Amino acid sequence: MVTMAEVAERAGVTKQSVSNVLAGKSVRPETAAKVNAAIEELGYKPNLLARSLRTGTTMTFGLFVPSVADPFYSSVVEEVENVLVRHGYNLLLATTRHDPEYARAHLENLTARAVDALLVAGDAGVVQQLPLLAAAQFPVGLFAWEVDPPQSLPVVSIDYEAAGFLAGRHLRDLGHRKVAVVASLPFHAPRVAGLRRAFAADGLDIDDSMVFTPASDDASAGFAAASAALAADPGLTAIFATRDVLALGALDAVARTGRRVPEDVSVVGFDDLALVGHSEPALTTVAFPTREMAQQAVELLLRAVDAGKPPTNAISLLRPSLTVRASSGPPPSA
C-alpha cells in the first residue's frame, strides 16, 4: 500500500500538506495541484484505520436485527442503509437471532471502538443486554421496540397497541365475534392487547384459548398455528396474525380446510410487506412508515455523533395505518 509519506515525497511537500488537501482545508493552489498529481500517479488511498485510530471516529454504523431472513427486518436494513449511504457511513450488520448470547457477543465486539453508533432493532434477545447497551461508549438507539421500552435509551418505535386496535376495530366493525389470534408471544403482547381493547368496547372478549403462538415467525409456523386455531374452533370467522408472514401461512391454512377467504374466514396481517398485495387473496394488514422510522432513528444517532454528546433521550412512536385489501370481509352470518 502506498502511504501518505510517499505521496508527500513525490509531491515535494510534507505529510501535513497532503493531509490538509485530503481534509479539504485551505491550501495553496500549487501545493494542492502537486499533491493531487502525486495522489493520482501513485494511486494513493488514505488508510482509514490509521485515520480512525487518530480521530476516534470510524464512519461505521452498527445495526442489530433479530434476523435478515425476516422480511420486516430486511426492509429495516434496507432503509437504514439508504440513510447511511447519504451520510457517508458504512453499515456493520449483526444478527441477534432472538438470542441474548449472540446479542452479548456482538455487543462486546462493537464496544471496542468498532462503530460510531448502534441501532438495535427488535427487543427479542436484547432485553437482557440493556445494561451493556447503556454502558456503551457510543450513542445507542432502540428501534421497533415493543414491550415496555426502557427509559434509559432513546426509542423509535411503533404504537403497537394502537396498531392492534386498528386491526381489531376493523374486524369488529365488519361484525366478527369469533376471532382467533396467531401471535408471537411474549413480544407481540401489545398488538394483542390493542386487538382486545377494540373488542372490549363492545363487551366482547377474545379468550386466551384462541390465542396461538407460532414456533417462529415464518409462513410454515403461521400455517401450523392457524390450522390449530381452525381445528380448535371451526366456527371462528376471522384470524388476526401479528406478522404478515404468519398471515400468509394462515391464508393457506384456511384454504386447506376448504374454506374461502374472506367469505368464510377473514385474515388480517401486520407489516404490509411488499408482496402481500399479491397474495391470494390480497392481504388486509396494518402498515407503518418503516422508511420514516429508519430515517428518524439513524439521524438521531448521527446527530449525537456529530455533536459529541448522547442522543436526545426520548421515545418516538410512529402511527400505524390500516391497509384494507381482499382478505377481510363480513362474517358468513352477517
Partner DNA sequence: CTGAAAGCGCTTACAG
Contact segment (CB under 7 A) with DNA among 24-32, 114-122, 204-212, 239-247 equals: 24-32
Q: Is 278 in the site for a copy of itself (CB under 8 A)?
A: yes
Contact segment (CB under 7 A) with DNA among 17-25, 126-134, 183-191, 214-222 equals: 17-25
Q: Is 271 in the site for a copy of itself (CB under 8 A)?
A: no
For 54-93, the DSSP string reads HHS---EEEEEES-SSSHHHHHHHHHHHHHHHHHT-EEEE
Coil/strand/helix, residue 23: helix
Dihedral sign, Cα of residue 25, residue 27, residue 31, residue 34: positive
Q: Is 1 in the site for DNA (CB under 7 A)?
A: yes
Q: What are 73-76's contacts with CB under 8 Å, separation 24+?
A: 73/121, 73/122, 75/273, 75/274, 75/290, 76/121, 76/143, 76/144, 76/290, 76/294
The C-alpha angle 233, 238, 244, rounded to 5 degrees, equals 115
Q: How far is the CB of 29 from DNA (least distance, A)?
A: 8
How far CA 266 is from CA of 119, 254, 260, 275, 307, in Å, comes to: 36, 9, 9, 18, 50
Contact segment (CB under 7 A) with DNA among 44-52, 220-228, 233-241, 300-308 equals: 44-52
Q: Is 248 in the site for a copy of itself (CB under 8 A)?
A: yes
Task: Tell me the backbone φ, ψ of residue 286, rounded to 5 degrees.
Answer: -90, 130
Q: Is 144 in the site for DNA (CB under 7 A)?
A: no
Q: What is the spatial distance between Cα 262 and Cα 332, in angstroms, rounded to a whole number?
A: 9
Q: Is 3 in the site for DNA (CB under 7 A)?
A: yes
Residue 89 C-alpha cell reads as: 457511513
Q: Is 5 in the site for DNA (CB under 7 A)?
A: yes
Element (H, E) at 143: strand 140-143
Which x/- pattern over 178-217 shows residues binding a copy of itself (rule: CB under 8 A)?
Answer: ----------------------------------------
Task: Tell me the backbone φ, ψ of residue 215, rounded to 5 degrees.
Answer: -70, -25
Task: Tell me the backbone φ, ψ of residue 120, rounded to 5 degrees.
Answer: -110, 115
Among 33, 37, 50, 69, binds DNA (CB under 7 A): 50
Using CB under 8 A as the binding rule, the residues of this chain from 61 to 120 that contact a copy of itself are 67-69, 71, 74-75, 77-78, 81, 85, 90-95, 102, 105, 108-109, 111-114
How far CA 154 is from CA of 146, 147, 269, 298, in Å, comes to: 13, 14, 28, 11
Q: Is 109 in the site for DNA (CB under 7 A)?
A: no
Among 37, 40, 41, 53, binds DNA (CB under 7 A): 53
Among 10, 20, 163, 167, binds DNA (CB under 7 A): 20
* Interaction partner, residue 22 (a copy of itself, DNA, none; CB < 5-8 Å by kind): DNA
Q: Identify how many contiguous H helices and E strands the chain contains and give both numbers.
A: 12, 12
Q: Is 269 in the site for a copy of itself (CB under 8 A)?
A: no
Given the rule CB under 8 A, which residues bind a copy of itself? 1, 45-50, 52-53, 58, 60, 67-69, 71, 74-75, 77-78, 81, 85, 90-95, 102, 105, 108-109, 111-114, 137, 218-220, 222-223, 245, 248-249, 251-252, 255, 274-275, 277-280, 282
